[in-house]
Structure 1
Amino acid sequence: MVTDARTLDWLLDSDPALRWQVERDLAGADPAVWEATRARVASEGFGARLLAEQGADGQWAGGAFFPAGFFDSPEAQEPGQPWVATTWVLKDLREWGVDASELAGSAEKLAANSRWEYDDLPYWGGEVDVCINSYTLAAGAWLGADVSQLAAWFPAHRLEDGGWNCEAEEGDSVRSSFHSTLNAVRGMLAYEKLTGDTGLRESRHGGEEYLLSRRLMFRASTGESVGEFVHRFVSPNRHRYSALAALDHFREVSLHEGTPPDARLAEAIEVVRAARTPDGRWLQTTPLAGRTWFDVDVPEGEPSRWLTLQATRVLEWWDAAT
């Protein structure tokens, strides 16, 4: 698959947080070009707007995972959850390519001021939810915090079937979750790429094998689809699993480790290919409910630049290799 010129121009007409990835992954731009665009993320558009919302204590919205006062507010009864607190903002800024130097001192401020809503635990130590811990592991590696103890948490809490489940720590499940496992392996991959520490690679590969053995979409017990969520591509996907989100991770693994695509990805690839509209774009499904600082993508049913970037680079990677 080759991106047509009209679609590429449409993708390039975007915020620097997205544009630099289009330049690097689809347009074949010289590193000096996309690196210059990436450097603008902190001073223009989405990245600059989020950086401006950081409080003097290093947090966003006064809280670690939820805004300050959330549980005593009417918002707690509304659908979804707010996406404005520290953990979600750090995840966005890191994934948009903001350099850690733009947040100088933030790791120390968060260590001093931020506590998890769960048991008032210190921020960089993580808590009991694997998805939260995966975001924290990656953010800590990015900002230079000491997250070595949190890194050791992942192999210690891997379930017997190979993956992770956010409900396992409460005793509600002994089976892994597609959502939790993808978040775990993404966090561990980010940690490895940022620090050079390969100590979690065996655990990460085990979680990836959990997903691959199910061909990214199917139950091991019955062979049936794990759910409609696999086919619903949404941006931002936050914590949500989809075939596209999983494939984007496996593409990143392949490029990082220099390995070819696994043949067991083929059915998921065709799901992504089938969702492509005749004009070469992918449509937004239902955005996740909850308060945001501002919109970074389109409403339901409209062509999404973020989803089109992800889907196009996945298909180009697969087609080039196979």
Structure 2
Amino acid sequence: MSDVESWLLAGDASVRWQVMRDLTDASSDEVTAERARVASSGQGKRLLDLYADGAWAGGACFPGSDWRPPDGPVGDPDGQPWTATLPTLRLLREFGVDPQDSRVTAAVDGVRTGCRWEYDGSAFFDGEVEPCINGGTVSIGAYFGQNVDRVVQRLLGEQLADGGWNCEAENGSTRSSFHTTICVLEGLLDYERAGGDLEVADARRRGGEYLLQRKLFRRASTGEVADEDWLQFSFPTQWHYDVLRGLDHFRAIGGPPDPRLADAIEQVRSKRQTDGSWLQENTHPGLIHFELEDGDGKPSRWNTLRALRVLRWTDGASA
């Protein structure tokens, strides 16, 4: 076992079980046992402990005006509140918490019956209006066994001519957004793999083609880097796009890597540190429940895990 794998395995259970599954030769029984600890220990348990009355932080996407972090504010109070139900459930899904754990099912049931979107009062799993939010809702719903057909149907009808999605389409935009598109693609993949009733594979492939035509970070018109921030890796990604997030999505799809991913893969490879880790680089501002890692400029177990499994996929395919 390498030094970096040992370091990863010294982290939270949410990281450990995925390292065991994706990077080591651990048995399926060992992986399952470690995954079960996500809900009962460490950061997963801390998130579940913060659930109350059908929601986290008193809201679906924005905490209620009377909500205050129980241990005082953590993070940037001028940024987005990442403490509400949507970002918290997305984080639990990233942690790989067992959706059948009794505390998890109780919390999700409470969200289904008690949580409403601030925009119009709709039930949480009926979705909102912005496709980036709805993509996250579909991913959460599919993962936690909820019916999100209504949201999926809406997303299928909102796909733009270039193959992607954009939250600004309702304001007249006809060009897709990387940020919105990756949120929707992740949701459609989770829905497809959960056995959803609606056919989404064609829409998902068209959305993937939108990213591939741009090599995951370049402008279609000039080939220039579309946004330098996309070359900075962060976890949690929230609704933001970056190259590592895009690559991890295509890795999750499986199969041989598309040749158009080569530039993005080299971006990831170039950021590996001498100790074998990748750094946290671009934390998205906002209130959080608690710090997951040590901050920007410091080694990140989450970015390292995701980068290593992307490279294992791409290097294995070319071996």
Under TM normalisation by the shorter chain, which class is it? over 0.9
Percent identity reads 46
Q: Does 1:17 align with 2:14?
A: yes
| Aligned residue number for residue 213 of structure 2 | 213
Mapped contact 1:130–1:165 kept (Cα < 8 A): yes
Following TM superposition, by how much is the alpha carbon of 1:290 offset from its aligned partner in structure 2, in angstroms? Answer: 1.1
> Matched residue of 2:143: which SS?
helix
State the alpha-carbon separation in 2 of the partners of residues 155 and 320 from structure 1: 34
Deviation per CA, 1:8-31: give whole Å up to 9, x if none. Answer: 111110100000000111112111
- In the other structure, the counterpart of 1:48 is 45
How far 1:106 moved relative to its partner? 3.7
Matches within 5 A, 1:170-319: 171-195=171-195, 197=197, 199-254=199-254, 259-319=255-315
Amino acid at match of 2:2: A
Measure the CA separation in 2 of the matches of 1:29 and 1:115.
Answer: 41
Taking structure 1 as reference, are residues 225 and 31 closer, same or farther at Cα in structure 2, changes over 3 Å only?
same
The AA in structure 2 aligned to 1:81 is Q
Give the drift of 1:51: 0.6
Letter in 1 for 2:246: A
Measure how far apart 1:197 and its partner are: 4.7
Match of 1:95 in 2: 94
Task: After TM superposition, give the deviation of residue 198 of structure 1 in Å.
Answer: 6.5
| Conserved? CA contact 2:149–2:196, under 8 Å | no
Contact map agreement 2:91 2:236 (CA 8 A) in 1: no
Give, in whole Å, the separation in 2 of the partners of 1:236 and 1:148.
Answer: 26
How many residues were matched structurally? Answer: 311
Alignment partner, residue 4 of structure 2? 7
Q: Residue 60 of structure 1 contacts residue 84 of structure 1 at CA under 8 Å; is this kept in 2?
A: yes
Matched residue type, 1:186: E
Cα deviation, residue 243, structure 1: 0.9
Indicate conservation of the 8 Å contact 2:160/2:175, yes or no.
yes
Q: AA paired with 1:127?
A: E
How far does the alpha carbon of each residue in 1:48-103 deviate from its partner, in whole angstroms, 9 at most, with x for none?
Answer: 11111111x221111000111179xx99x943111111111111111211122232
CA distance in 1, matches of 2:250, 2:197: 19
Match of 2:26 in 1: 29
- Rounded Cα–Cα distance in structure 1 between residues aligned with 2:31 and 2:196: 23
Q: Secondary structure at the match of 1:27?
A: coil
Contact 1:115 1:121 in 2 (8 A): yes
Aligned partner of residue 101 in structure 1, secondary structure: coil
* Alpha-carbon separation, structure 2, partners of 1:13 and 1:94: 21
Please give the alpha-carbon distance, in whole angstroms, between the structure 2 residues aligned to 1:303 and 1:197. 41
Whether the 8 Å contact between 1:154 and 1:203 is mirrored in structure 2 is no
User: Could you say what the CA RMSD is over the residues aligned between the two structures, in angstroms?
Assistant: 2.0
Q: Distance in 2 between matches of 1:276 and 1:142?
A: 31
Taking the TM superposition and a 5 Å limit, the aligned residue runs for 1:143-182 are 143-169=144-170, 171-182=171-182
Question: Relative to structure 1, is the Cα distance of residues 79 and 138 closer, same or farther in structure 2, using a 3 angstrom cutoff?
Answer: same
Structure 2 equivalent of residue 84 of structure 1: 83
Provide the secondary structure at the position in 2 that maps to 1:104. helix
- Give 2:60's aligned amino acid: A
Q: Which segment is superposed worse, 308-317 or 110-119?
A: 110-119
- For residues 100-140 of structure 1, give each alpha carbon's deviation from its aligned partner in whole angstroms, at most 9, with x where no partner exists: 22322444432332111112222111111111101111222
- After TM superposition, the structure 1 stretch with the greater mean CA deviation from structure 2, 136-145 or 264-273, is 136-145
Q: Which 4+ stretches in 1 moved above 6 angstroms?
A: none
Q: Give the conservation status (yes or no) of the 8 Å contact 2:78–2:286.
A: yes
* TM-score of the aligned structures, taking structure 2 as reference length: 0.92
Aligned residue number for residue 112 of structure 1? 113
User: Structure 1, unaligned stretches of length 5 or more?
Assistant: none
Q: Is the Cα contact below 8 Å between 2:149 and 2:198 reproduced in 1? A: no
Separation (CA, whole Å) in 2 of partners of 1:159 and 1:54: 37
Contact 1:164–1:184 (CA under 8 A) maintained in structure 2: yes
Q: How does 1:114-129 map to 2 (within 5 A)?
A: 114-129=115-130
Q: Check 1:143–1:320 CA distance in 2 against 1; reply closer, same or farther (3 A cut).
A: closer
- What is the Cα deviation at residue 280 of structure 1? 1.1
The whole-number CA distance in structure 1 between the counterparts of 2:38 and 2:66 is 29
